[in-house]
Structure 1
Amino acid sequence: MAHPTEDKNFRLPTSIRPRRYAATLTLDMDAKRFSGQQTIDLELAEPSQEIILHAIALQLGEVTFRAGGEQRKPASIQPAAQSETVVLRFDAPLPRGSATLDVAWTGRFTEGLRGLYSAGKVAATQFEAADARRLFPSFDEPAFKAKWALSVRVPKGHTVLGNGPVVKEEQDGDHQKVTFQETEVLSSYLIALVVGPLVGTPEERVGGVPVRTWALPEKAHLTRFGQDVALAVLPRLQDYFGLPYAFTKVDQVGIPDFEAGAMENAGLITYREVALLLDPATAPLSVQKRVAEVVTHELAHQWFGNWVTMVWWDDLWLNEAFATWMAFKIVDQWRPEWRMWLDFDAHRASALHLDALKSTHPIHGEVRNAGEAGESFDAITYEKGGAVLRMIEGFLGEGPFREGIRQYMRKHARANAVKEDLWNALGEAAKQPVEELATAWVGQSGFPLVSARLEGRTLHLSQRRFYSEPGVQSGEKWPVPMVLRFEDGGGVREQRVLLRDAQATVTLEGSGDVKWLTANANSTGFYRVAYDKPSLEKLATNIKALAPSERISLLADQWALVRAGQASVADLLDLAGRFGDEEDDSVLDELVGRLAYIEGRLVDGEEQERFRRWVERLLSPGLKKLGWQAAAGEPDRVKLRRAALVRAVGGLARSQEALAEARPRVARMLDGDRDALEPNLLDASVAMVARAGDSALFDTFLQRMPKEPDPATQRRYLMALTAFENPALAERAQGLFFSDTVKTQDVASFAAGLLGNRTGREKWWEVMRTRWKDVVLRTGSAPMLLRRIVEAMGILRTREHLEQVKALLQANPVPEAQQATAQTLERLSQDVALRERCAPEVAAWLKKQP
């Protein structure tokens, strides 16, 4: 009979638990090898003849079990590749009670961006979801929390960072030995180690907690902003949770090659450099906001995730959704002028898009093994989860919601929890049926389309599940917490409704004619709205009365209805035409996003040129009025509006006038003139100029990119290389994909850039198909990057492309990206059908334009 560990869905028995790991690691940085010795304090709830540890590619040496003064050696040590475990089998049952296990082992640094790996000059760990087992033989599931006492031996001259502060540094032969303070109880995925020639900011304290931000020496001047964010948000988080920070220190480190955006290791947070390091004098506001949001997200995890941890990966959303929502909330408190919730709406849009597919998944879904856990790190877990928490908070009120969170934190401190624990705490604090609301939204895929029809002061509401594929229907319902906002004779008012049934009728409070009504006030609800024609016309006529978030939703919902075959693209374009004098940058971003899709997918040749000129006529007067040069003391809102208009007129409409303005400015910027381009115009201007650029400009970007210390600038130049539309230069860029020029962390976005290049696309797509194994190899088998490579194929346009993508992924399945494969194929087939359905309608509409 097969041993249970032969099954890749194997889970560790809970009868043996670790209480403490005391480990010493020795790293050979040149040979990229390590050796380790550790003592694990164990608790056996019952006698057992075997101990099972997780381990991948580790060679176990001496193993000794000790209990009650006796010591025993295993009769056999059997690795089980399927479950990534090693089974230590003993001749006779081991006694229940306390015991210790001594283990010695050796291993190699991981190729790719997980386990312990090389990122240029730095050795770093990345363990979430299940890669601690690549460095430590361990109980590598989140429910097995234990204390960790680590020492590390490395060659002299390196900075060595761990979860705790350094308590001892000593010379040990040719090595320096660094011993860290023992940690609080932690799950194995939160243990971390970073070794390399790093320099840190001076230590600063927040309520006694030392905070430092680290980078390679040539990037040390870019650490201040990330340090300031941590100092600003840490007290706000302590205040929200009503609990002090638990992990003795905060170290933040920029890692030169990193798979995700960042990782919340307790006390030692690791980041992709572009998510931590910047120069505020030259960084666009979007980059500053992104760094602030990521830093706050990771610090929020120190409570939600590290202090209280999910039992298993099916509740990953408990960590991620909460940290996503919390980051926007706290940064919004710190910098209200940034209007972070409008950025949140833009993030939420990706979740709405994904969740309208048949191949979506619930926020809380079944996860059978570590590989499946890796697929859960997506927009549903993060953005939909965050949006649902925001919706529940909006319904319960901020005070009761926070009290529920505090209760949850106190009750499950240092331990593990499941989603019901959170609902119970929130329900108790708010005295509301939270579980009914939450279970429907967290346990069920998809979201509702709410139809709203107004007759006098009576609002007729109905709901059904929204699918982006025309004609697909199913019968799910949700308890939809709605906030209505409308204007009548008495002014603007709000009214709350919980729509539980398929249909309902609501009498609006107040009196007089209703001038306009929005059925998702401030866009806090995770649903789409379809208005009847008269209601839609009232909204379009009174567009300025709507909040920016509501104007964004109006455009986004209408576009979703076009995709689903429930509204005409001509009506959408008529609506878009009303936004010519729009002054809000976030609304302009939404408008430009919708119009860019039409320009990129629904028009070709003459129609494409006609569409570009229509966009130019609509939006260039706004750009002319603002000009390209920022005035002294100009507000951020104005700078961001200018940037959105440059993207629209120069990027989307390909205006020759805008290109003529951008070219000399980019040249001056490259010559070192900091005032040539306002920072928020850098991305759009560099991309626009690259698209029409020559080989001299290509060489400039190629030479500057690796030497550039600022990660956002480096990325700007890297992506510019994918934009050159001169066929010979497009081909040169394609060759770079397989070279060291493109770091592992950037391969997916570089591939997507090449697929987005209109002159190089077909050739690059042919390269991807013929060299697919090499493309996969470039990701270092990092699951997140593999998923993104698959998702990048969604940029393709035609039915022939769709058939080729299907054939490629059928012949070469990517097990780590099964969900991404299904979603990409479904989305691409809808895009192709939309193109075939709507292209003639867009052409007809364009002919009628003056």
Structure 2
Amino acid sequence: MNLIVWIFTHKLLVVLIAVIISLALSTIILAIENRKLRNEIDELIAKETNLTEMNKYRLPGMVKPILYELYFYPNLSTGLFKGKVDISVDILSTTDSISLHSHTLNIDNVHISSENGTYSLDQSYQLLTIRKTDQSNFTPGKENLQIEFSGDMKNRIVGLYTSSYKDANGESRRMATSKFEPTYARQAFPCFDEPNMKAKYKVHLLKPKDNSYIALSNFPVSNITDYDKENQLVSFEETVSMSTYLSCFIVSDFAHTETSFNNDGKMIPLKVYASPDNLQKTQYAGEVGKKVIEYYVNYFQIPYPLPKLDMVAIPDFVSGAMEHWGLVTYRETALLYTNTTHSTINKQRVTTVVAHELAHSWFGNLVTMNWWNDLWLNEGFASYIQYKGASAAEPTWGLLDQFMLDLHAALNFDSRLSSHPIVQTVLTPDQISEIFDLISYKKGASILRMLENTVKETTFQQAVKNYLNLYAYKNAITEDFLDEVQKLVGTVLNVKELMETFTVQMGYPILTVTRSGDEYTLTQKRFLADSTASFNKSDSAYRYRWSVPVTYITDLGKSSSFVLFNYNADSIKITRPTGAKWMKFNHDQIGYYRVNYPKAEWDDLIAHYGNFSVADRTHLLEEAFSIAEADLLDFEVPLELTKKLSAEFDYMPWSVAYIKLRSILNHLKWSGSDQEAAFKKYVIDIVSPAYNNFSWNETVDYSHLDRLARIEIFYLACLVDHEACLSEAQSYFNRWLKTRQPITPDLRRIIYSNGMKKANKTTWDALLEIYKNETDASERLKLMKGLTSIENEDILKKLLELAKDETLVRSQDFFSVVQFISINPSGTDLVWNWVRSNWDYLVHRFTLNDRYLGTLIPEITSTFATQERLTEIEEFFKEHPNAGAGVASRARALEKVKHNILWLSKNKKTVEKWIRKNSVL
């Protein structure tokens, strides 16, 4: 009794002790390798914190769904829908209520095993709570929930929604479709909308009786019956157990092409659906899909789990694609391709996106992360495995090397304080939506690539196979996969320790090299784009140190011995092989880290640039610039390295060069430097040999990589006002506008954008009419790039208002249009002012849960480099404090502008001095 009195009189002390205990438990948990014990502690903590935010957003877990029998009645004319669902559930422990998710739905009736029930809705947490009418408890065992509901499909692009297209006669054709990841299934039907709440589905969809209309879901059709005079009810076979976000429902008048793939000796139908007028553009996706999925069946040594595979091109789709199991949905630009309409870049995108989504059939669908904290288990794996699948389909494209460009994007994103760990606790729908970013996708993929290289390909593949078999139709956490790798690796490497340094803490290291004779000493520290930024090392259990698998290559060959720079070591020493003339660390940039050398070593590497593989050449360019941008290397080093580009003709080095040289040009332009013209002249000098190596006329001699290189080189040449490039682009544009004779697809975007820069209103209006009449989604984006490239601010302002019209710019493309205009120097300030003035409109239309709205601000302010602009951004955030799914994006925007300001103060004079020395006007 005295203890109770003491507790109530010392509440603050009790809370402090509880916090200390909680932090101590978290530290202990991190060190515990026994997963069972860790889970028991997690459950204990959860029971003791029933009033935390986690328990408000998470379902209690006392009830599990077994089977959804789901009826949807969409009305394509009104855009409304009705539905009913019978959910068989398993009550695991006595409870007075059953909670599940529901959002934006009208709940019309609730029954519990045919008896009336009572219910309440909590809009804040998107919960539907059901109780028995007599208020008695639910006891362990089976129950059935019957819920009738209705909703609105209009003016939305998630949940169950309407899409439309215009047919060859200009008639609008409507369809109903769905997109549920991550937390939007609850907007279509009441459900247990968490990834570890797997269940089976029996689906029934209403469709018009018109024979041109079809209904699709995850499994094949089992029966079609007349519902009334105008509609039919399509029933589907019962599915395997899967998470809510993987279910999918489509009613449309689409047509399809069909092939089949060998699924461990059994042929499975593979159909590609699109609007009838786009049917001829589905052939390539079917061919790629067949090759990719047959590769996966062989790679995973696990047959594709379902009886059919459909891929569908949706006219309105918020993401690039979505891996709904058995019914994969895509934005049209990610699935449709013909060589007469689409570019080489379009073709590669179709290949890699198809490969990504089909990889999810195993990673994500068959085995699903237990909670969104481990999203990378889905997206990181698919983002890496896609390169293996796509390379199997198109082996001459060098895709395994091209992965480096994704790696660079991850390294750039992860070099800022606004980054986040791969494994991060998320609770709310906004937080969940926000982590669908470069860290979960591209950093996740990058560390898997590094792990595979460390443990070797066969070991990695076997661990993947074992993991998938062990957790098939179940859920898993990061440690589960690492356990399978550890079993095969044995005691030679602590896999969990190595990987945790990259998964539970954000960022990555830079290894600093010093040399004494043939002995190299490597030390490490956290790499930040702003080297002056401060952070608290104690925020991470590993104190922002990493276990780094170090590789190297010399002129005598690549390293064969395993070298691990452990996170708790101060340094490591590596001896250069006897007789080697040069030594480069992180061969082919497999490792997720950076390396900085003394000036003499950089000079030596630059001197041998031509001796390196295309991957190592690309690495040196990206690395030197990134380290210099962080003020850890004299900017003269990467600038000197650019001189080697005059003899470079490969795609990847020029892809990096385009990004880095454009960045310098932006800094010079926006700071009013008197060296902007001289720098353009220098870039013209180094790009001209490569520019002259290619032709504006199409030739069959160009390989896939040649075509990609030509695009990058022409873009850069025109960007720096290369006279011949601008002249050719303008000439092609004028001729096309007059005759409408087709331009080679690879060059359309560069021709449209450069041809429109100096255009008048009459020419712009003519291009707008062409855009309005164009039906191909990829071509429309190219035309829109042209429309946004004009230098007339009044026209750009008009276009921003026109973009609000969804008949002109689909919602899925709206942010692309805004960003296109912001890239145009004539539109940068215009867009920033427009977004601030129209923020309420944007929030109302897209909601703060839209992660694309969240990323808009850092995209449109990325070139800002003054204190005035920084203050404007800060004031805007104060005026609109609710960031929704854009919390980290706001921090990233501020960090980027601060970095730009710092860049000018640190590097502008050095760069200008170098330009004066190396460019003659």
* Shorter-normalised TM range: over 0.9
Extract unaligned runs of 5+ from structure 2: 1-48, 165-173, 538-542
Equivalent position amino acid for 1:324 in 2: S
Match of 2:231 among 175, 193, 212: 175
Distance (Å, rounded) in 1 between the aligned partners of 2:762 and 2:275 = 30
Correspondence 1:666-677 to 2 at 5 A: 666-670=733-737, 676-677=743-744
Q: Secondary structure at the match of 1:36?
A: strand
Match of 1:648 in 2: 716
Match of 1:456 among 502, 517, 520: 517
Match of 1:825 among 870, 873, 894: 894
1:731 aligns with 2:786: no
Q: Secondary structure at the match of 1:421?
A: helix
Distance (Å, rounded) in 1 between the aligned partners of 2:187 and 2:796 = 39
Distance (Å, rounded) in 1 between the aligned partners of 2:454 and 2:305 = 31
Match of 1:98 among 124, 142, 155: 142
Distance (Å, rounded) in 2 between the aligned partners of 1:703 and 1:206 = 46
Equivalent position amino acid for 1:166 in 2: V
Match of 2:676 in 1: 608
Distance (Å, rounded) in 1 between the aligned partners of 2:326 and 2:728 = 48
8 Å CA contact retained: 1:204, 1:210: yes
8 Å CA contact retained: 2:734, 2:755: no
Match of 2:82 among 35, 42, 46: 35
Closer/same/farther in 2, CA of residues 58 and 738 from structure 1, 3 Å limit? closer
1:661 aligns with 2:728: yes
Distance (Å, rounded) in 2 between the aligned partners of 1:780 and 1:31 = 23
Distance (Å, rounded) in 1 between the aligned partners of 2:406 and 2:184 = 28
Equivalent position amino acid for 1:823 in 2: R
8 Å CA contact retained: 2:376, 2:422: yes
Could you report, residue by residue, the CA deviation over 1:326-348 in whole angstroms, capped at 9, with x for unpaired residues? 00122123322111133321112
Distance (Å, rounded) in 2 between the aligned partners of 1:6 and 1:349 = 36
8 Å CA contact retained: 2:180, 2:246: yes
Distance (Å, rounded) in 1 between the aligned partners of 2:480 and 2:600 = 45
Distance (Å, rounded) in 2 between the aligned partners of 1:506 and 1:7 = 46
Distance (Å, rounded) in 2 between the aligned partners of 1:639 and 1:283 = 13
Distance (Å, rounded) in 1 between the aligned partners of 2:233 and 2:297 = 34
Aligned residues, how many? Answer: 839
Match of 1:683 among 737, 742, 749: 749
Q: 263-272 or 33-42: which moved more?
A: 33-42
Extract unaligned runs of 5+ from structure 1: none
Correspondence 1:247-258 to 2 at 5 A: 247-258=306-317
8 Å CA contact retained: 1:254, 1:272: yes
Equivalent position amino acid for 1:498 in 2: L
Could you report, residue by residue, the CA deviation over 1:776-829 in whole angstroms, capped at 9, with x for unpaired residues? 344365612212312323334232222212211221132221111111211221
The alpha carbon displacement at 1:156 in A equals 2.7
Match of 2:61 in 1: 14
Closer/same/farther in 2, CA of residues 326 and 163 from structure 1, 3 Å limit? same
8 Å CA contact retained: 2:576, 2:583: no
Distance (Å, rounded) in 2 between the aligned partners of 1:479 and 1:228 = 42
1:336 aligns with 2:404: no
Could you report, residue by residue, the CA deviation over 1:704-734 in whole angstroms, capped at 9, with x for unpaired residues? 2233233221111112211111333333323
Q: Secondary structure at the match of 1:848?
A: helix
The alpha carbon displacement at 1:774 in A equals 2.0
Q: Secondary structure at the match of 2:403?
A: helix
The alpha carbon displacement at 1:631 in A equals 3.5
1:834 aligns with 2:884: no
Match of 2:185 in 1: 132
Q: TM-score, normalised by structure 2?
A: 0.88
Distance (Å, rounded) in 2 between the aligned partners of 1:94 and 1:644 = 64
Correspondence 1:472-483 to 2 at 5 A: 472=533, 474=537, 475-483=543-551
Distance (Å, rounded) in 2 between the aligned partners of 1:210 and 1:342 = 32
8 Å CA contact retained: 2:729, 2:751: yes
Match of 2:571 in 1: 504
Q: Secondary structure at the match of 1:337?
A: coil
Correspondence 1:492-531 to 2 at 5 A: 494-500=560-566, 501-508=568-575, 510-512=577-579, 514-531=580-597
The alpha carbon displacement at 1:605 in A equals 5.7
The alpha carbon displacement at 1:198 in A equals 1.1
The alpha carbon displacement at 1:664 in A equals 2.2
Closer/same/farther in 2, CA of residues 700 and 250 from structure 1, 3 Å limit? farther
Match of 1:805 among 873, 883, 902: 873
Closer/same/farther in 2, CA of residues 33 and 626 from structure 1, 3 Å limit? closer
Correspondence 1:440-451 to 2 at 5 A: 440-451=501-512
Match of 2:241 in 1: 185
Distance (Å, rounded) in 2 between the aligned partners of 1:672 and 1:479 = 61
Closer/same/farther in 2, CA of residues 274 and 727 from structure 1, 3 Å limit? same
Match of 1:627 among 695, 699, 705: 695
The alpha carbon displacement at 1:378 in A equals 0.3
Equivalent position amino acid for 1:743 in 2: R
Distance (Å, rounded) in 2 between the aligned partners of 1:172 and 1:447 = 59
Q: 188-197 or 695-704: which moved more?
A: 695-704
Match of 1:763 in 2: 830
8 Å CA contact retained: 1:458, 1:505: no
The alpha carbon displacement at 1:243 in A equals 0.7
Match of 1:815 among 869, 880, 884: 884
1:61 aligns with 2:108: yes
Correspondence 1:310-321 to 2 at 5 A: 310-321=369-380
Q: RMSD in angstroms over aligned alpha carbons? A: 2.1
Could you report, residue by residue, the CA deviation over 1:421-450 in whole angstroms, capped at 9, with x for unpaired residues? 101111112324211111111111110001
Distance (Å, rounded) in 2 between the aligned partners of 1:5 and 1:590 = 46
Q: Secondary structure at the match of 1:612?
A: helix
Distance (Å, rounded) in 2 between the aligned partners of 1:579 and 1:95 = 73
Percent identity over the alignment is 27
1:78 aligns with 2:120: yes
8 Å CA contact retained: 1:470, 1:563: no
8 Å CA contact retained: 1:259, 1:785: no
8 Å CA contact retained: 1:7, 1:83: no
The alpha carbon displacement at 1:657 in A equals 2.3
Q: Secondary structure at the match of 1:201?
A: strand
The alpha carbon displacement at 1:570 in A equals 2.9
8 Å CA contact retained: 2:288, 2:393: no
Could you report, residue by residue, the CA deviation over 1:195-215 in whole angstroms, capped at 9, with x for unpaired residues? 222111135344321111111
8 Å CA contact retained: 1:752, 1:795: no
8 Å CA contact retained: 2:513, 2:596: yes
1:792 aligns with 2:862: no
1:198 aligns with 2:254: yes
Distance (Å, rounded) in 1 between the aligned partners of 2:477 and 2:402 = 29
Match of 2:5 in 1: none
The alpha carbon displacement at 1:8 in A equals 7.9
Q: Secondary structure at the match of 2:649?
A: coil
Match of 1:469 in 2: 530
Match of 2:41 in 1: none
Q: 771-780 or 226-235: which moved more?
A: 771-780
Closer/same/farther in 2, CA of residues 110 and 80 from structure 1, 3 Å limit? farther
Q: Secondary structure at the match of 1:93?
A: coil
Distance (Å, rounded) in 2 between the aligned partners of 1:44 and 1:111 = 37
Closer/same/farther in 2, CA of residues 777 and 94 from structure 1, 3 Å limit? closer
Match of 1:379 among 438, 443, 449: 438
Distance (Å, rounded) in 1 between the aligned partners of 2:242 and 2:665 = 50
Match of 2:662 in 1: 596
Distance (Å, rounded) in 2 between the aligned partners of 1:458 and 1:339 = 35
Distance (Å, rounded) in 1 between the aligned partners of 2:656 and 2:742 = 28
8 Å CA contact retained: 2:219, 2:238: yes
Distance (Å, rounded) in 1 between the aligned partners of 2:813 and 2:574 = 54
1:302 aligns with 2:361: yes
8 Å CA contact retained: 1:464, 1:502: no
Match of 2:129 in 1: 87
Q: 662-671 or 24-33: which moved more?
A: 662-671
Q: 276-285 or 631-640: which moved more?
A: 631-640
The alpha carbon displacement at 1:280 in A equals 2.6
The alpha carbon displacement at 1:111 in A equals 3.4
Match of 1:113 among 157, 177, 201: 157
